[in-house]
Amino acid sequence: MHGSDVLAYLTRRVSNREDAADLLGETLLVLARKKAQLPRDSTEARMWMFGIARNVLLTYHRGVRKRGELVDKLRDSLRDVEVAEFDDLAISLKLLLENLDPRDREIITLHHWEGLTLAEVARVMKLNASTVRTRYERARAHLKAAVG
């Protein structure tokens, strides 16, 4: 009906099209739930749809802002923990891990820090178990060589 107009409205108010599409989906869900309240007049229905889209958008922006605040608080608290709890060896290990391929680093940390088996790591990362084992052994050899 007016979906393309609502999508254009949302696209102009968020940072990427994927979020706009998600917001349109949310708007359409609300419209479906409130279908009985839909005005019969086309102009009124269009304004009503934009009102719902605006409310969905306001909720989205509130969530983005709250997530940002929480991320900032978490970052600050982790910065304090790093300074207080990491000794030189831990900092060196962290630097070594940063030199690994991101997937290899994830395999190492899921296995050693989170206590997952390599088979569990494979499931979490949606990779073949043999691929995870190979990448794990290669990353481990790289870390051993870097340590000397």
**Both tokens assigned to 24:** 């349109």
pLDDT tier for residue 92 given thresholds of 50, 70 and 90: confident
Same domain membership, residue 126 and residue 99: yes
Is-contact 117 75, C-beta < 8 A? no
Residue 73 and residue 30 share a domain: yes
Q: Are residues 78 and 101 in the same domain?
A: no
Residue 132 has what pLDDT?
95
Domain span including residue 124: 87-147
What tokens appear for 54 in the block? 């605006």
12 and 57 co-located in one domain? yes
**pLDDT reported for residue 73:** 81
pTM: 0.50
What is the model's pLDDT at position 22? Answer: 94
Do 13 and 71 lie in one domain? The reply is yes
Q: Could you tell me the CATH number of the domain that includes residue 121?
A: 1.10.10.10
Q: Identify the helix (H) or strand (E) that includes residue 72.
A: helix 42-85
What's the total number of domains in the chain? 2
Q: 78 with 95, same domain? A: no
Asked if 53 contacts 6 with a C-beta cutoff of 8 angstroms, the reply is yes
31 & 56 share domain = yes
